Amino acid sequence: MTDRAAITEAVAAQIEPFNKKGIALTDATTFQHDLEWDSLTVMDFVAAIEDEFDILITMNMQAEIETIGQLVDAVAKLKSE
């Protein structure tokens, strides 16, 4: 399993409790439109991701991340730093 695949799997596991509509997850799934998350849900989710991967996602990074694929790429980048 590649690092990206492992990160994708872990991110999907973190999304599951917040995925109230049972949306099928892909790299193109958006947090705002597909999952329909509000800002509080996003904040809770970001905290869960930061804890899971022991990283810090800045507010600027959060503003640029719209899809699961973008989040996975950001986590991979932060883990490699």
Under the banding of pLDDT at 50, 70 and 90, the label for residue 76 is: very high
* pLDDT score, position 2: 67
Burial of 70 (0-12, 13-18, 19+ CB in 10 A): middle
Query: pLDDT tens across 18-46, in order?
Result: 999 999 999 999 999 999 999 999 999 99
The pLDDT mean for the chain works out to 94
* pLDDT score, position 81: 87
Percent of the chain with pLDDT over 90: 93
CATH code for the domain in which residue 69 is found: 1.10.1200.10
Structurally, the chain folds into a number of domains equal to 1
Q: In terms of residue numbers, what domain contains 75?
A: 3-80
Distance of alpha carbon 32 from alpha carbon 65, whole angstroms:
10
